[in-house]
Structure 1
Amino acid sequence: MKIAKNTVVSVAYKLSDAQGNLIEESVQPMVYLHGGYDGTFPKIEEELDGHESGFETQIQLEPQDAFGEYDPELVKIEPRSRFPEPLEVGMQFEGTPEEGDEDLDSLIYTVTEIAEDKVVLDGNHPLAGMALRFSLLVQEVRAATEDEIEHEHAHGVEGLEILDEDDEPDEAAEKPGPTLH
Structure 2
Amino acid sequence: MNEEVIKNTVVTLNYSVTDPEGTLVDAGKDPIVYLHGGYDDIFPMIEEALQGKKIGESVTVKMQPNDAFGEYDADLIEIEPRSSFPKELQVGMQFEGIPERGSEDDMLIYRVTEIADDRVVLDGNHPLAGTALIFTCTVRAVRPASDEEISHGHVHEHGGQCD
What band does the TM-score fall into relative to the shorter chain?
A: over 0.9
CA shift for structure 1 position 124? 0.1
Q: Are the equivalent residues in 2 in contact too, given 1:97–1:104 (CA < 8 A)?
A: no
Q: Are the equivalent residues in 1 in contact too, given 2:111–2:124 (CA < 8 A)?
A: yes
CA shift for structure 1 position 48? 0.2
Q: Are the equivalent residues in 1 in contact too, given 2:98–2:104 (CA < 8 A)?
A: no
Write the mapping of 1:25-174 to structure 2, written as runs, cut at 5 A. Answer: 25-98=27-100, 101-156=102-157, 158-161=158-161, 169=163
Query: What amino acid maps onto 1:135 in structure 2?
Result: T
Query: What amino acid maps onto 2:127 in structure 1?
Result: P
Query: What amino acid maps onto 1:66 in structure 2?
Result: A
Aligned residues: 161
State how far apart, in whole Å, the 2-side matches of 1:102 and 1:70 are: 20
Whether 2:6 is the aligned partner of 1:4: answer: yes
State how far apart, in whole Å, the 2-side matches of 1:9 and 1:160 are: 16
State how far apart, in whole Å, the 2-side matches of 1:26 and 1:135 are: 10
CA shift for structure 1 position 26? 1.7
State how far apart, in whole Å, the 2-side matches of 1:36 and 1:76 are: 34
State how far apart, in whole Å, the 2-side matches of 1:62 and 1:102 are: 28
State how far apart, in whole Å, the 1-side matches of 2:138 and 2:5 are: 13
Query: Tell me, which stretches of 5 or more residues in structure 2 are unaligned?
Result: none
Query: What amino acid maps onto 2:89 in structure 1?
Result: L
Query: What amino acid maps onto 1:41 in structure 2?
Result: F
Percent of paired sites with the same residue: 53
TM norm structure 2 = 0.94
Tell me the SS of whatever aligns to 1:111. Answer: strand
Q: Are the equivalent residues in 2 in contact too, given 1:12–1:28 (CA < 8 A)?
A: yes
TM norm structure 1 = 0.85
Q: Which runs of at least 4 in structure 1 moved beyond 4 Å after TM superposition? A: none
